[in-house]
Chain A
Amino acid sequence: MPPTGSDPARMNRKKGDKGFESPRPYKLTHQVVCINNINFQRKSVVGFVELTIFPTVANLNRIKLNSKQCRIYRVRINDLEAAFIYNDPTLEVCHSESKQRNLNYFSNAYAAAVSAVDPDAGNGELCIKVPSELWKHVDELKVLKIHINFSLDQPKGGLHFVVPSVEGSMAERGAHVFSCGYQNSTRFWFPCVDSYSELCTWKLEFTVDAAMVAVSNGDLVETVYTHDMRKKTFHYMLTIPTSASNISLAIGPFEILVDPYMHEVTHFCLPQLLPLLKHTTSYLHEVFEFYEEILTCRYPYSCFKTVFIDEAYVEVAAYASMSIFSTNLLHSAMIIDETPLTRRCLAQSLAQQFFGCFISRMSWSDEWVLKGISGYIYGLWMKKTFGVNEYRHWIKEELDKIVAYELKTGGVLLHPMFGGGKEKDNPAPHPHFSIKHPHTLSWEYYTMFQCKAHLVMRLIENRISMEFMLQVFNKLLSLASTASSQKFQSHMWSQMLVSTSGFLKSISNVSGKDIQPLIKQWVDQSGVVKFYGSFAFNRKRNVLELEIKQDYTSPGTQKYVGPLKVTVQELDGSFNHTLQIEENSLKHDIPCHSKSRRNKKKKIPLMNGEEVDMDLSAMDADSPLLWIRIDPDMAVLRKVDSEQADFMWQYQLRYERDVVAQQEAISALERFPTPASRLALTDVLEQEQCFYRVRMAACFCLAKIANSMVSTWTGPPAMKSLFTRMFCCKTCPNIVKTNNFMSFQSYFLQKTMPVAMALLRDVHNLCPKEVLTFILDLIKYNDNRKNKFSDNYYRAEMIDALANSVTPAVSVNNEVRTLDNLNPDVRLILEEITRFLNMEKLLPSYRHTITVSCLRAIRVLQKNGHVPSDPSLFKSYAEYGHFVDIRIAALEAVVDYTKVDRSYEELQWLLTMVQNDPVPYVRHKILNMLTKNPPFTKSMESPLCNEALVDQLWKLMNSGTSHDWRLRCGAVDLYFTLFGLSRPSCLPLPELGLVLNLKEKKAVLNPTIIPEAIAGNQEAAVNPSSHTQLVGFQNPEDDHLAKEASCNMSAHQQGVKRKADTPLGSPLEPGQILEKNEDSSKVKLKIRFSSSQDEEEIDMDTVHDSQAFISHHLNMLERPSTPGLSKYRPANSRSALIPQHSAGCDGTPTTKPQWNMELPRKGTGKEQPPLEMSVHTAAAAPLSVFGKEPASSKHSEHHHHHHHEHKKKKKKHKHKHKHKHRRDGRERGRGPLAFPSPAGGRSARSPSLSD
């Protein structure tokens, strides 16, 4: 992992645990944000901010703030004009001359760019020079007021304008604007210190049309009309110290509802939605009460506002004393399915009000504590509201999610900086993005990060008890609220920031328990545990011999050592055993309690004290074991594959009372398609007391079992008679009862059963006619007139069921799909879909669930060859102006079409939408869907993969998405999926250096064929020996290399793949040799430079932006601050600094295209020295003009220092890289042999007890 610019000094400081120290040489105490003009037509904002700061060092002469997108007109400090420069290296991550197209390179550069402006490291895009008149003032550490006039024109991120194009005034049109973004994104809409750790009090003023309402943080002090009465100004005051990142705004013609239960809570929604708002928020006060009760702490802010807006960036965004929700969460009392989801969103946002908004984090590496706590208390709320079953089900779901993600994609590290130098033990799990900064993360990773955080918090609870846990939270909150009420004192306010170490200290203080091992395992380390359990019963010793193996070599796994609970259900009862998992012990003997073999009369006591009768005839006569569960409490983040006989799973399903166990049994039973499994599942389905989600899962399992048993299946199709009994009329069993959804459990079952039934297949692998007729009848006789609830979700699921019943068309000679050869069953299905889809136009359903299902079904029909595959229908539904759910469903179909039909045109259409669509969520979602269902992958040949596409995507992530962190990371994800880490194979020229290096390492793999190899090569480029190689370019050995390069080149040009170990001796074309010779002089020149700079190539590569940036700052400080000059594109700045270099660089590629790919490396090597020099000169020259000699020298020293740090770190990294490389090699060697296969061990030992 390359350095990202976050200096180790800070890490050390944290380890020392001396409380919080600001990375800035000043402390912010108060900020005024005043937006005095908002133009919806032009989508522009004009205003100013005023920051009140106290210098903490005497020689403060530059102040760095965050600002993106904003046009800054004027900066004044204490009413004196101040010079400033504005430079945002994230606008364009890699500069135009770079043709490297290498994701590794990009990721490093991006991480460096983000760090270069990271407020947590004291950096910022805006650098203001303190006027010399004030230096004396500063030396006395007196207050400074920085006044910045700015405007925003058509912001692409940060503030989102929604302006419907209808007649009427903006208010009548429902136009609104709101702040949005991922993590700290406030800098997108006003200059600030955009860090979660810089707290201050706030005064917020917004002047808007009289018909509009501005909602912001804190208390609304007053609203003042302007003289002409056409506008009014909303004045908000936030006296609780809050970070800029938690400041938000929403302006629109909102309808206002004061919560009838709590008058300090106000809800806002868009016009016409007030009735929905009333219903939706009527529940919120209960959430409030719950949190206040468990935390024994009042809600920290004096008021709370919820705002529901359209085109939301995320469904829920929590800010200080205010949450912004998607308007699509609103629902009426008739809607069943949305209600729990919306309530969950409300509860989530409220939990984040306490932890996330009120209590903020010290640094990104402490984020997990906040996400963990808010997720954990939200879980407690779930348990109380929806019951323990739902809670446990949720935990299991989350656990499965994180396990699946980590095993597939790589580990999730909660505390990325904690380990410091120890990263060697835990190599970066995600090669294509840096996890050291929130803005470089893949969105999916961040979602999983949150998931893991709350699961780990639950593990801590398991260890120290819930009571202590809540005490810790209470302690954090009460400390924070004491601090918040204080006047400005820098050390007090930091009590409102949570850090990992502070949190752990609180835990040990409150509970007196040592949770260090737990933290080490789950927080400081990434990965999950993979257990394989199998057992045998030793009759003689009456002992259960349990074998628990672990796989800790696969990516995303780790080794677990420690206690593990195992629950054994015997005839005489249920017994818990705690095993100690150690390094080398696999086998554990567990003594059995049941002495009596088979006590027929006795009831069998279960874990919960209940005693039940069981039919024990299925059991093994010799064994008293009913079932065994490994880690039943989910006290480890793990995946357990355990071996049990089928009857044991069946007993577990029927009699174990834990829903998680039941679900595990259901998924295990898929492997045992027997009549006994069928019976067990059917019994569960029929059992009313059984948790409805378990019953729903049983439906799908039953369908799978029925399909496996198709040749021996007797009776009507699975579930048919059950459904008839439960939901159809007594007198006419083919007609479903009129809808009555009063019982939600049976509602969900009624919805699900037909969907599962549609998956049934007969011996010809077709959906049985009987099932199709059954579903069509359900649709026909559906009657909702007497129902209190809407049946839109039910009807949508019926369409899903129809889609599930579709099987691939039998096609003769690839005939064209026309109406004439349409299968009659499909005709019926189409008839229904057409009618449903058309009816939606006249009587739309809630959230258009039916349209969504219809679109999906049509895509299924297309994919199965019944209907001609055609994206035009979906494209029309994907247009802006349709409801977002419809758009996403349609886009999903287009994405699928792009993949199946390999359509370049559609891919282009999608990418255009990614660039231009007005809704950020849709843009993000397209990239996300393309990543999940890619048109091709790096290991695949595809006609779609061409240079233009590479360039387009590269451009997108390099500069096209600079306004939205999430989008840029999405583009990176997609690029990674399509092309991998290294140079995309479709590019015509391989990189010379790569071949060189591989040669030297005696690697025989052609990097262009095996992408990972190239990935390794990037690291190898650091190796100084490669330089020497380059220097001696003209010696005979190098001719070989050149030859190889050229062969590779030509091979690529012909589109032919070559194995790497093909001989090097292919003849050279004369022209190429000539070019090489010509070029070698340049190479030499370059090399001399780089060798003098000792092996810093990549290092500079990664940090050059920040370097350029710094030097630039120093240079630019003397320039006048005109608006024209205030915006420097980094590329310009660099070319200004090193003109001769860039000229050479630009010239070569055009004349000698074959050497294109060599240039970037040259570039990086060559640009290094001028940069270095410029830093030095800059440090020396302009600073002296500042006239503060001591200060300037200190600064330059600082830079040196900084640089050295990088070097040191770099060296470390190099070692690591080497290490990694070797490891890679090892792994490659082992290849498909994989790890000592647990499966093998398993198969050797039969799961059956009779063995």
Chain B
Amino acid sequence: MADAAATAGAAGSGTRSGSKQSTNPADNYHLARRRTLQVVVSSLLTEAGFESAEKASVETLTEMLQSCFNVDTLPAYAKRSQRMVITAPPVTNQPVAPKALTAGQNRPHPPHIPSHFPEFPDPHTYIKTPTYREPVSDYQVLREKAASQRRDVERALTRFMAKTGETQSLFKDDVSTFPLIAARPFTIPYLTALLPSELEMQQMEETDSSEQDEQTDTENLPLHISPAEASDLWSLTPWPPSSLSPSDSCPCLLRILCSVLHCVTWHSRLPLIAATAWPPLGQREAH
């Protein structure tokens, strides 16, 4: 860097003249950025004690700056005590934005940011606004929704299974209206029949720990869904030993479908998650 010397001013004017040639807005942006970087390099050089620098040196330094830019150390560097404040670039004709949306107070710049820098955007663009749908508190609607939801998922899933596998039919002339998944014998039938599925076990543990209160029917369903539980949903993929064996004809998708269904049917604290996550399922299948 020692051999690189040029006048900051010359360097600055040189690039400025070049910028005029391009008309394209993307190029424009690119040039403006490059210009700013050159200003930065020049000011750094000035800060370091150089008085002038050759254009080629400044270009090289700019290239270097562009390629090894460490963001992490930037704030500390920006706040260094003997920093030099770079003057505003001359082109600052800001368009006056119409203040249609106003929310909260515009934030002032922190002290290390020069005032000629553009202001923070309007608060509505970044402030977190906790909004949610009015919770459905009508018990009847909730039950209705849960019920039809489950029914849709069950129907969709069983139809899917029926379509992908062998079926039996009650009507000779029609195989699609009431498709019955074909009965397939098990090698060890009693295991399926006797062992509760994993989900049932889980449910049992939960109800055991929270000792079912005498009046379950408070006519409010608990609606809180924590992210942890939501992710639980997906960890249920392993098959309970008793469930139908994931045979070769059973695609991956099916496993996922099944686990969704498990949740819808059994998971005690997830009344509507599947409803919001999978509404298309039922419809898609229905169309």
Chain A, 879-923, contact with B by CB distance < 8 Å: what is the 0/1 string? 111111100000000000000000000000000000000000000
Does any Cβ of A come within 8 Å of B7's Cβ?
no
- 5 new A-B contacts at CB < 8 Å, known A328-B194, A330-B194, A872-B168: A738-B217, A841-B184, A843-B199, A843-B261, A868-B172
Cβ 8 A contact of B216, one of A786, A817, A846, A884: A786
With both beta carbons as reference points, the residue of chain A lying nearest to B269 in the complex is identified as A785
Contact A740 B217 (CB under 8 A): yes
Does any Cβ of A come within 8 Å of B180's Cβ?
yes
Return chain A residues, CB-CB under 8 Å to B197. 843-844
Does any Cβ of B come within 8 Å of A616's Cβ?
no
Does any Cβ of A come within 8 Å of B40's Cβ?
no
Given contacts A873-B180, A883-B190, contact A788 B212 (CB under 8 A): yes
Does any Cβ of A come within 8 Å of B174's Cβ?
yes
Cβ 8 A contact of A834, one of B180, B185, B216, B243: B180
Chain B, 207-251, contact with A by CB distance < 8 Å: what is the 0/1 string? 110001010110100000000000000000000011110000000
Return chain B residues, CB-CB under 8 Å to A842. 157-158, 161, 243-244, 258, 261
Contact A881 B200 (CB under 8 A): no
User: In the assembly, what is the distance between CA of A738 and CA of B143, in Å?
Assistant: 9
Return chain B residues, CB-CB under 8 Å to A463. none
Cβ 8 A contact of A174, one of B143, B188, B258, B267: B188
Contact B268 A785 (CB under 8 A): yes
With both beta carbons as reference points, the residue of chain B lying nearest to A727 in the complex is identified as B217
Residues of B within 8 A of A (CB): 139-140, 143-144, 146-148, 151, 154-155, 157-158, 161-162, 168, 170-174, 177-197, 199-200, 203-204, 207-208, 212, 214, 216-217, 219, 241-244, 258, 261-262, 265-268, 271
Chain A, 330-369, contact with B by CB distance < 8 Å: what is the 0/1 string? 1111100000000000000000000000000000000000
Return chain B residues, CB-CB under 8 Å to A870. 170, 172
Contact A787 B194 (CB under 8 A): no
Contact A835 B188 (CB under 8 A): no
Q: Which one of A257-265, A728-736, A1035-1043, A1217-1225 contacts B?
A: A728-736
Return chain A residues, CB-CB under 8 Å to B207. 786-788
Which of A779-801 touch B at CB < 8 Å? Answer: 780-781, 783, 785-788, 790
With both beta carbons as reference points, the residue of chain B lying nearest to A272 in the complex is identified as B191
Given contacts A272-B195, A790-B196, A847-B194, contact A868 B219 (CB under 8 A): no
Residue contacts A-B, CB under 8 angstroms, 19 given: A164-B188, A166-B188, A327-B194, A332-B200, A334-B196, A729-B143, A785-B267, A788-B212, A819-B171, A834-B180, A835-B158, A837-B181, A839-B154, A843-B262, A844-B242, A861-B170, A868-B171, A873-B168, A877-B183
Does any Cβ of B come within 8 Å of A276's Cβ?
yes
Chain A, 797-834, contact with B by CB distance < 8 Å: what is the 0/1 string? 00000000000000000000111000000000011001
Return chain B residues, CB-CB under 8 Å to A586. none
Given contacts A730-B219, A788-B204, contact A165 B187 (CB under 8 A): yes
Number of residues from A at the complex interface, CB < 8 A: 66
Cβ 8 A contact of A838, one of B180, B185, B194, B196: B180
Does any Cβ of B come within 8 Å of A1173's Cβ?
no
Contact A883 B192 (CB under 8 A): yes
User: In the assembly, what is the distance between CA of A882 and CA of B193, in Å?
Assistant: 9
Min CB distance B213 to A, Å, is 9
User: In the assembly, what is the distance between CA of A847 and CA of B192, in Å?
Assistant: 8
Return chain A residues, CB-CB under 8 Å to B162. 838
Min CB distance B196 to A, Å, is 5
Min CB distance A361 to B, Å, is 34
Does any Cβ of B come within 8 Å of A273's Cβ?
yes
Contact A786 B268 (CB under 8 A): yes
User: In the assembly, what is the distance between CA of A868 and CA of B174, in Å?
Assistant: 12
Does any Cβ of B come within 8 Å of A867's Cβ?
yes
Return chain A residues, CB-CB under 8 Å to B216. 737-738, 740, 786-787
Return chain B residues, CB-CB under 8 Å to A835. 151, 154-155, 158
Contact B186 A882 (CB under 8 A): yes
With both beta carbons as reference points, the residue of chain A lying nearest to B194 in the complex is identified as A330
Contact B243 A844 (CB under 8 A): yes
Contact B181 A838 (CB under 8 A): yes
Most A CB atoms within 10 A — which of B177, B217, B266?
Answer: B217
Does any Cβ of B come within 8 Å of A742's Cβ?
yes
Return chain B residues, CB-CB under 8 Å to A731. 139-140, 219
Contact A839 B194 (CB under 8 A): no
Contact B187 A881 (CB under 8 A): yes
Contact B244 A841 (CB under 8 A): yes
Cβ 8 A contact of A843, one of B171, B214, B243, B271: B243
User: In the assembly, what is the distance between CA of A638 and CA of B192, in Å?
Assistant: 45
Return chain B residues, CB-CB under 8 Å to A14. none
Contact B170 A841 (CB under 8 A): no
Residues of A within 8 A of B (CB): 164-166, 174, 270, 272-273, 276, 310, 327-328, 330-334, 729-732, 735, 737-738, 740, 742, 780-781, 783, 785-788, 790, 817-819, 830-831, 834-835, 837-839, 841-844, 846-848, 858, 861, 867-868, 870, 872-873, 876-877, 879-885
Return chain B residues, CB-CB under 8 Å to A837. 180-181
Contact B204 A332 (CB under 8 A): yes
User: In the assembly, what is the distance between CA of A877 and CA of B185, in Å?
Assistant: 8
User: In the assembly, what is the distance between CA of A861 and CA of B171, in Å?
Assistant: 12
Return chain A residues, CB-CB under 8 Å to B203. 785
Contact A783 B146 (CB under 8 A): yes
Return chain A residues, CB-CB under 8 Å to B171. 817-819, 867-868
Cβ 8 A contact of B147, one of A276, A781, A872: A781
Return chain A residues, CB-CB under 8 Å to B261. 842-843
Return chain A residues, CB-CB under 8 Å to B191. 272-273
User: In the assembly, what is the distance between CA of A787 and CA of B207, in Å?
Assistant: 7
Return chain A residues, CB-CB under 8 Å to B168. 872-873, 876
Contact B193 A783 (CB under 8 A): no
Contact A885 B193 (CB under 8 A): yes
User: In the assembly, what is the distance between CA of A847 and CA of B151, in Å?
Assistant: 23
User: In the assembly, what is the distance between CA of A842 and CA of B151, in Å?
Assistant: 14
Contact A848 B193 (CB under 8 A): yes
Return chain B residues, CB-CB under 8 Å to A848. 192-193
Return chain A residues, CB-CB under 8 Å to B219. 729-731
Q: Shortest 8 CB-CB distances between A and B: which pairs? A: A881-B185, A838-B158, A732-B140, A737-B217, A883-B193, A883-B189, A788-B207, A834-B178
Return chain A residues, CB-CB under 8 Å to B190. 270, 310, 327-328, 883
With both beta carbons as reference points, the residue of chain A lying nearest to B267 in the complex is identified as A785
With both beta carbons as reference points, the residue of chain A lying nearest to B139 in the complex is identified as A731
With both beta carbons as reference points, the residue of chain A lying nearest to B146 in the complex is identified as A783
Contact B170 A881 (CB under 8 A): no
User: In the assembly, what is the distance between CA of A332 and CA of B177, in Å?
Assistant: 37
Contact B194 A735 (CB under 8 A): no
Given contacts A786-B212, A881-B187, contact A868 B140 (CB under 8 A): no
User: In the assembly, what is the distance between CA of A885 and CA of B190, in Å?
Assistant: 10
User: In the assembly, what is the distance between CA of A936 and CA of B207, in Å?
Assistant: 53
With both beta carbons as reference points, the residue of chain B lying nearest to A858 in the complex is identified as B170
User: In the assembly, what is the distance between CA of A844 and CA of B271, in Å?
Assistant: 21
Return chain A residues, CB-CB under 8 Å to B186. 881-883
User: In the assembly, what is the distance between CA of A310 and CA of B168, in Å?
Assistant: 28
With both beta carbons as reference points, the residue of chain A lying nearest to B214 in the complex is identified as A742
User: In the assembly, what is the distance between CA of A780 and CA of B154, in Å?
Assistant: 12
Return chain A residues, CB-CB under 8 Å to B196. 332, 334, 790, 846
Given contacts A276-B195, A846-B194, A873-B168, contact A742 B212 (CB under 8 A): yes
Return chain A residues, CB-CB under 8 Å to B258. 842
With both beta carbons as reference points, the residue of chain A lying nearest to B270 in the complex is identified as A785
Min CB distance B249 to A, Å, is 13
User: In the assembly, what is the distance between CA of A165 and CA of B187, in Å?
Assistant: 6
User: In the assembly, what is the distance between CA of A735 and CA of B219, in Å?
Assistant: 11
With both beta carbons as reference points, the residue of chain B lying nearest to A777 in the complex is identified as B147
Given contacts A732-B143, A838-B162, contact A780 B151 (CB under 8 A): yes
Min CB distance B87 to A, Å, is 68
Return chain A residues, CB-CB under 8 Å to B179. 834, 838
Return chain A residues, CB-CB under 8 Å to B217. 729, 737-738, 740
Given contacts A737-B217, A873-B170, A881-B189, contact A729 B139 (CB under 8 A): yes
